Amino acid sequence: MNLRTRLRDLACPAAPKRERRKEARPRELLDAALELFVEQGFAATKAEDVAKRAGVSKGTLFLYFGSKEELFKAVVRENIAGQFSEFNVALDSYTGSTESLMRTFMAAWWVRVGATHSAGICKLMVSEGRQFPELAEFYRAEVIDPACQVISRVLDRGVQRGELKVPTSPHNVYTLLAPILFLMLWNSAPGLSGAMVLDGATFLGNQIDVLLHGIGVRPSGDALDSSTAP
């Protein structure tokens, strides 16, 4: 350790172990809650189970989160909803093509959410949303609506730049949102997929290819001439 490092450490002494542990508790509780919500579902997850996995008491959990519902909302905000402000900032300064933008955003979503434990929250909402309508509405407001707003901005940008010909509409927005939701559901439900886990980056890249370029073979000029000949 050189002198500069030693002086820096003396000027900023490390927090005592107990203090560091206290500061880490909310994150540990959120991580434990996310794992259990995805593994067991919302209804089956008990507050004491979350506290036990995080290595704290049930009382400690309720010092940070007033209820299991508030804990769930914090999990969604921390792991998913917080991404959208960054996406919007990135969109403001992006200078590449619309196709490149779509691929960049799809890849970023996959790395930050789709390929993580957070993707399982989507399946939880599908399976338990009717049982917990307040949480389903919260998920819609915090995740689905902001995702649609980002996609709308991408489509509007493409039309303004003359790179897309379709106007922004709910159906066109959902066309881009659908493969993201499908992928999270598919990879989170072995019973549905038959344990065939899809590679997210490849799947989403293929979706962009299909959406922008189609999968049909364009007929040659000769084929067009012969098909229209009397």
- Residue range 139-152: mean pLDDT, rounded: 95
Mean of the per-residue pLDDT values for the chain?
A: 84
pLDDT computed for residue 66 by the predictor: 94
Domain locations in the chain?
Answer: 15-72, 82-213
pLDDT band at 171 (very low <50, low <70, confident <90, very high): confident
Q: What is the pLDDT of residues 146-159, one digit of tens each?
A: 999 999 999 999 99
pLDDT band at 104 (very low <50, low <70, confident <90, very high): very high
CATH for the 15-72 domain, from 1.10.10.60, 3.30.70.890, 3.40.720.10, 1.10.10.10: 1.10.10.60
Q: Kind and range of the H or E element at 91? A: helix 83-93
Query: Does 20 have pLDDT greater than 50?
Result: no
0.85 exceeded by pTM: no
Nearest partner of 48 among 128, 36, 19, 134, judged by Cα: 36
CATH for the 82-213 domain, from 1.10.357, 1.10.10, 1.10.760, 3.40.50: 1.10.357
Sequence-distant (6+) residues with CB within 8 A of 95 are none
104-108, 125-129, 181-185, 192-196, range with the lowest pLDDT:
192-196
- Separation of alpha carbons 98 and 145, rounded Å: 21
Residue 63, SS3 per DSSP:
helix
- Separation of alpha carbons 82 and 61, rounded Å: 22
- Residue range 202-210: mean pLDDT, rounded: 92
38-42, 97-101, 147-151, 186-190, range with the lowest pLDDT:
186-190
Report the percentage of the chain scoring pLDDT > 90.
Answer: 66
